[in-house]
A and B are shown apart, each in its own frame.
Chain A
Amino acid sequence: MIPLVRVDNRLLHGQVLEAWMPVLKATEVVVADDDAAGSPLARAAMTLCVPCETPARILRMAAVDFAALAASPAVVLVLVRDVAGLVEATTRGLTPARAPRVNLGNIHFAMGRRPVTPSVFLTAEELEALEALAAAGFTVEAQAIPTDPPYGLDELKRRYAAAR
């Protein structure tokens, strides 16, 4: 099963390993990202921080079989780098039935982005894309770590409008 798909610019890091994995009781991590999969440095670096007993796979988006992950008995946390990666995943077999929960973890600031939570900065296009995903049946929430309060999409829209 896939209890959570997380959008995180940093992909695999401390918040994911130390905070989310235990809470979700996840047994495996799949990083779905073409850049990371194509970079030996990124692959080497990412496997550094994973405890030996946790299998972590770093795959190109095209190589991820969401149907198989959803059907497997393993509890798999899927990581994508950004909202664009999330949208791409939905064109490659990610459906609400296979993975109902989408989590926005860290999306860093860049020009043209507005803060909607302390760790998530969105563009108008991304907000639209997330609305479309919600309409398709995904539960979209922004939450950096499990002990933070989760913010639903309506709240994110309100905050986006209020931010400069």
Chain B
Amino acid sequence: MTIRFRTRAHVFWRCLFLQAAWNRRGMQNLGFAYAIEPALDALYADPARREEALARHLGFFNCHPYMTAAILGGAIHHEELVAAGEEPGAAPLSYKATLQGPLAAVGDGFFWTALRPFFGAMAALGALVAGWPAVVAAVLSYNLVHFGLRALLFRAGYRQGDAVVGLIARLALPRLADRLRAAGVALCGAAAAAVALRAGGVADGSEAAAVLVVATAAGAGYVALSRGAPLFPATYLVALLGTIVAAVTGWDGRF
């Protein structure tokens, strides 16, 4: 018994709501059960078996929302085998339990702390030098990668089951993440220069001074933050210090 493409597409759509009811106890449990429900409906004609299957997917679950596509695909793969009587009902659960931690780490390390901030920094730099079209382009590029990988992982999980781990390993996401982080930092540096030039470009006759203020804020700010200075107080301190220094010296930084 295999599941139709339409049903799988329905599951994929529902997977986008994975964290709708995120809670401390079961975390994404309700979201996972919600997502997999169409597949269980298709596999188990007997209501009692269907409820039993749904109940097992209401247990604790937490993973990266994008990487969960692979686990959801694999869970359906295993549920097909359970429905066919080839595997015990515990098989999809042990698949989920085994993969959720490691794939969460891969997803957090790649998507949340590398790919998205990289495109965020790129969009920010784009906004500073080229305006809104650059922002649109960066967000679209991010989502091309994001949805491409999300769909690929879901398909691979469904088709390959356990072997999806090999595919994820071949993607070498941690190595790619390192490069994206370094590139993201470079973009932040360029953004700092763009902010300085903008400040300098608008300040009447005090261009060098405005550039100096921005450069000092960026440099000293970086040193302070990497020594553990908290972000919120630093924000207020820098904005107010900049204002006070300008008030004392008479610099002006209007647009």
Stretch at the interface among B105-113, B125-133, B199-207: B105-113
In this complex, the interface size class of chain B, counting residues with CB under 8 Å from chain A, is 20 to 34
Q: Is the CB of B102 within 8 A of A45?
A: yes
Residues of chain A within 8 A (CB-CB) of B105 are: 12-14, 16-18, 48-49
**In the complex, A108 has a CB within 8 A of chain B:** yes
User: What residues of A have a CB within 8 angstroms of the CB of B108 in the complex?
Assistant: 14, 18
With contacts A18-B113, A49-B174 known, is A109 near B165, CB below 8 A? Answer: no
Q: Which residues of A are at the interface with B, using a C-beta cutoff of 8 A?
A: 10-14, 16-18, 39, 41-42, 44-52, 108-110, 115, 118-119, 121
A-B contact pairs, 23 of them (CB 8 A): A11-B101, A12-B101, A13-B104, A14-B105, A14-B108, A16-B105, A17-B105, A17-B109, A18-B108, A18-B113, A41-B99, A41-B162, A44-B166, A44-B169, A45-B98, A45-B99, A46-B101, A48-B106, A49-B109, A50-B174, A110-B60, A118-B24, A121-B25
Is the contact region of chain B dominated by helix, strand, or loop, or is it mixed?
helix
- Smallest CB gap from A51: residue in B: B174
Asked if B188 is at the interface of the complex by the 8 Å CB criterion, the answer is no
Are B25 and A10 in contact, with the CB atoms below 8 A? Answer: no
- In the assembled complex, the CB of B89 is this many whole angstroms from the nearest CB of chain A, namely 17
Are A42 and B174 within 8 A (Cβ)? no
CA distance A17 to B60 in the complex (A): 22
A48 with B26: CB separation less than 8 A:
no
Type the 1/0 row for B93-122, where 1 means its CB is closer than 8 Å to any CB of A. 001001111111110110001000000000
Residues A10 and B101 in contact, CB atoms below 8 Å apart: yes
Contact across chains for A45 and B25 when beta carbons are under 8 A apart: no
Give chain B residues whose Cβ lies under 8 Å from the Cβ of A10.
100-101, 104
Residues of A within 8 A of B106 (CB): 48-49
Shortest Cβ gap from B7 to chain A (Å): 25
What CA separation (Å) do A115 and B23 show in the bound complex? Answer: 13
Are the C-beta atoms of A18 and B101 separated by less than 8 Å? no
Residues of A within 8 A of B109 (CB): 14, 17-18, 49
Nearest residue, chain A, Cβ from B102: A45
Asked if B4 lies at the interface with its beta carbon under 8 angstroms from chain A, I say no
Kindly provide the distance from the CB of B77 to the nearest chain A CB, expressed in whole angstroms.
13
Residues of chain A lying within 8 A (CB to CB) of residue B227: none
How many Å lie between the Cα of A158 and that of B108 in the bound state?
34
B102 touches A49 (CB 8 A): yes
Residue-wise interface mask of B (195-234) relative to A, using a CB-CB cutoff of 8 A (1 in contact, 0 not): 0000000000000000000000000000000000000000
Docked-complex contact B165 and A14, CB < 8 angstroms: no
Cβ–Cβ contact B26 & A46, under 8 A: no
Expressed in whole angstroms, the minimum distance between the Cβ of B4 and any Cβ of chain A is 27
Knowing that A12-B102, A45-B103, A49-B102 touch, tell me 15 more A-B residue pairs with CB under 8 angstroms: A13-B102, A13-B105, A18-B108, A18-B113, A42-B98, A44-B166, A45-B165, A46-B101, A46-B102, A49-B105, A49-B174, A52-B174, A52-B175, A115-B24, A118-B24
